[in-house]
Amino acid sequence: MKRILLLFLFFTVIGVSAQININIGSQNFGTAPVSSFFSYSYVQQIYPKQEINANAAGNITGLTFYIDSSSTITESSNWTVYLGHTSKTAFSSGTDWIPASQLTQVFAGTVAKTNNKVEVVFNTPFAYNNTDNLVIAAKENSPNIDINNFDEAFHVYPHIPYSTLYYKGDRTVVDIASPPGGIRADYKSAVTISGLTASASPACPFVIYPVNNTQNISLTPNFSWLPVSGATSYKISLGTSSGSADIINQQAVSGNNFSPSAALTAGTTYYLKVISVSGNTESSGCSELVFKTVPPIPANDACSGALPASVFPYTYTQSDAVSTANNAGNISVCTSAGDTGMNDGTWFKLAGDGSQYTIKVTMPSGSSFDPQIGVYSGSCSNLSCAGTVDNGGGGTAETITITTVSGTDYFINVGDYDDTTDAPENTFTITITKL
């Protein structure tokens, strides 16, 4: 009898421990896993493998969602639940639904609220491979709505941008084979996943700034990451080569952001790793991300350092324009199309010989930089307006043609169009052609 009791207790403990809790203490409200405020809804949520942090593949046997204890879901209780695998971490648009063909129905029926929980015990367990990310999709089929203190009754927590996609309306039950356009959200359901066992170590954090492989990061960055459920603190390492920590070595951080005490070096590639700490246990296998800081201030940042154009056609790509300083402020020598001036950007110099020159500025594909060209004669300390152009918006090329006077120097400034704000410049190519 004692042996039977011990075995019963053993399997009871195993059953209780085979669950993963994800931000179940959250008190925010949102449209997930279903909408309680609209008649019908369909919601897809992506839980990355990194966030689930299971110790192995296994069968998911149910889900528990959390709700305000004063709320009711009497009219929002007819659910169909689906699970699936995906490689994506976010939805790219309001129609970027994960196809029904990639989902498995695991439950259909009526759910009920018990205190602050809604438990969904699957009709069919779902075999999670612990390699892909997990999709949790739920469709609510009741024709009526619940009126609660909060429009939506279920608890959610902020996470990766666009990791939830939902539709809610009052017309008809959603056909998941061809769902209507939905709305993306930056949150997900607080949930308990039954059947999986959590890893002994906490999950690795999702770093949200900087994004991996990004350029032109500030020299005084504020690194930030999403909080990890169960983590009590974090550790930061930063180095100038992969796997190194020559800048910051396992710096303990209590919150979910951190700024280095000293400015980073311009034009330098850095490697960042953030790990979670829970008690005496640290997350393992966390990936490092790489980023590059803004380049040094360009040599032609000021008029006095203007790059000479002497062989034509002259072409120069200003890849370090992002670090341009506004020096003494905006330049008000020339006005155009209602502008009273422009930003002090980067400078080029042209010796007048009586010929005409066409000056053109173009940007890389996808750039939003909105350049203005200012052309001045005289000297850096005494500029006179020879012409300016700002005809297009962001990403639009600008062109101006000037007639030079022999023996007169001309200074060309390429800067942001804004005449009142020190707006940043970005990469551009200038071409000067002698006509």
Q: Print pLDDT tens along the chain (435 aa).
A: 444 433 333 333 334 459 999 999 888 999 999 998 888 999 999 999 999 999 999 999 999 999 988 888 888 899 999 999 999 999 999 999 999 999 999 999 999 999 999 999 999 999 999 999 999 999 999 888 777 766 888 999 999 999 999 999 988 899 999 999 999 999 999 999 999 999 999 999 999 999 999 999 999 999 999 999 889 999 999 999 999 999 999 999 999 999 999 999 999 999 999 999 999 999 998 999 999 999 999 999 999 999 999 999 999 999 999 999 988 788 888 876 566 778 899 999 999 999 999 999 999 999 999 999 999 999 999 999 999 999 888 899 999 999 999 999 999 999 998 777 888 899 999 999 999
- 364-407 pLDDT, tens digit each: 999 999 999 999 999 999 999 999 999 888 899 999 999 999 99
Report d(CA 5, CA 334) in Å as an integer.
90
- Give the class (CATH, top level) of 303-434: mainly beta
CB 15 within 8 A of CB 27: no
Fold observed for domain 207-293: Immunoglobulin-like (2.60.40)
What tokens were used for 335? 């006005």
Please name the residues in contact with 9: beta carbons below 8 A apart, sequence gap of 6 or more: none
- Residue 337: the pLDDT is 58
- The residue among 324, 351, 328 whose CA lies nearest residue 407 is 351
Backbone angles phi, psi at 59, to 5 degrees: -90, 125
CB 67 within 8 A of CB 118: yes
Report d(CA 169, CA 32) in Å as an integer.
14
Distance (Å) of CA 346 to CA 200, 228, 378, 399, 426: 55, 44, 17, 16, 10
- The residue among 297, 274, 270 whose CA lies nearest residue 286 is 274
In CATH terms, are 14-194 and 303-434 the same topology? yes
Q: Helices then strands (H, E): number in the chain?
A: 2, 32
In eight-state DSSP terms, residue 427 is -
Residue 278 forms beta bridges with which residues? 281
Distance (Å) of CA 96 to CA 70, 174, 353: 34, 15, 59
- Report helix, strand or coil for 86: strand
Strand residues in 23-99 grouped as ranges (E)? 28-30, 40-47, 58-66, 78-86
CB 428 within 8 A of CB 397: no
Neighbours of 251 (CB within 10 A): 16
- Give the class (CATH, top level) of 14-194: mainly beta
Q: Where are the domains of the chain?
A: 14-194, 207-293, 303-434
Q: Which pTM was predicted?
A: 0.77
Q: What angle do CA 429, 386, 335 make, to 5 degrees?
A: 85
